[in-house]
Chains A and B, each alone.
Chain A
Amino acid sequence: MSETGLPATVETLRRVREDPHRLGHRSHGSEGPVEGAGHGETGPASKRIIVGYGFWIFLLSDIVMFSCFFAAYAVMQGATAGGPRAHDIVEIPRVALQTGALLLSSYTCGLSFAATNARSRLWTQVFLLITGLLGLAFVAMELQEFISLAAQGITPQRSGFLSAFFGLVGLHGLHVTVAGLWLATMMAQVQVKGFRPETVHRLICFNLFWHALDIVWIAIFTIVYLIGGIS
């Protein structure tokens, strides 16, 4: 018990209120340092934290790669070689549908992780399935766009602008496709293995990846489709 003489629960409440992250309270007091808290000399952080943080670093490097494609697009924007410009190939209704599908899938992905936290296998699977179907709809719409453009002779080799356009949008579509395969794998793992710690770690990483893809899509639909569609 602490020096204040309060009952332990009240004392805990007071500590949490005043200092929710217990900064400066780690190395003294009756508890002593916490093993694996990742602070001071208490050893490395737990695997869940390390895995999530490591994947965050990977995601940022992935976004840096996307930024190279964005830079190429920005530089190549005017290099149309007499071919179609952004304004000529943008179809806003389809982009709106794609954006809606990806945003909703991000939402259901968040809900699936809430279900994971509540250890509900059924709802995790249901929301993951909806996420996957919305992602599939997104990829299908993008494929349809590429095919209809190619049918009009609008292909990557037509001009520098189109190379950058197909490179940037296609790279994102490829990411969503791979994430869809990952999602199917995760559903199988949750079904067969249940919520083992390593499965939950992978679910955390998958959630991060899916949300990051939506963030990249925000940049694409704003810069390529909306701003490109204006002029």
Chain B
Amino acid sequence: MSHFETDPHLFGGELDHREDHAPGDAPEESAGHWVLNSNLGLIFSLILTVAAFLAARSHLIYGPAVPDALLVLGVAQMGVHLVFFLHVTTGPDNTNNVLALAFGILVVFLIVVGSIWIMANMNQNMMPMDQLMRMQP
């Protein structure tokens, strides 16, 4: 009874609409949709990249705010890559991918922020080098 078999977007019956999707794989979309996604991703990435280099090299943005602006632009571009190049979406067929990504981001956050925090704390609490030297017997 199913008419999914006659769907032109399916490739030789290998894929089924009801399956989960792997990242970087979007079975229900035709090649044209992939090209469109790539084009959009390229345009957004180019805009964000040019904006980042401009922000860093010119004085368009208030000086002390430049690093924050660069971080925001970088995160935005990673988002663009995830959505348009890796095809990670919020659809129900993508739940597993998004959950894995969320866990990955959590671990990355813990490692980076935790390292910076702990090392800054140790730096602050360490005895100055000359005093440390004087304590050596």
Contacts and interface: CB of A to CB of B under 8 A. Distances in A.
A18 B35 CA distance: 27
Interface string B61-85: 0000011001101100110011011
Contacts, number: 186
A96 B17 CA distance: 41
B30 A45 contact: no
A50 B74 CA distance: 30
B24 A12 contact: no
A158 interface: no
B1 A31 contact: yes
Contact of B116 (A63, A74, A114, A226): A74
A219 B19 contact: no
Contact of B41 (A20, A60, A99, A110): A110
Identify the interface centre among B16, B25, B86, B93: most chain A CB within 10 Å of its CB: B25
B25 A52 contact: yes
Contact of B22 (A56, A100, A110): A56
Nearest to B50: A96
Interface of B: 1-4, 11, 14-25, 30-32, 34-35, 37-38, 41-42, 45-46, 49, 52-53, 55-57, 66-67, 70-71, 73-74, 77-78, 81-82, 84-86, 91-93, 96-97, 100-101, 103-104, 107-108, 111-112, 114-116, 119
Given A49-B25, A113-B24, 17 more contacts: A9-B3, A12-B3, A37-B18, A38-B20, A48-B15, A53-B23, A56-B97, A64-B111, A67-B108, A96-B53, A103-B46, A107-B38, A110-B84, A111-B34, A215-B82, A227-B70, A229-B56
30 contacts: A16-B17, A22-B18, A36-B16, A37-B16, A38-B19, A45-B19, A48-B22, A50-B22, A53-B22, A56-B23, A56-B24, A60-B104, A74-B112, A74-B115, A99-B49, A103-B45, A110-B38, A110-B85, A111-B38, A117-B11, A204-B24, A204-B25, A211-B85, A215-B78, A218-B77, A218-B78, A221-B52, A222-B74, A226-B53, A227-B71
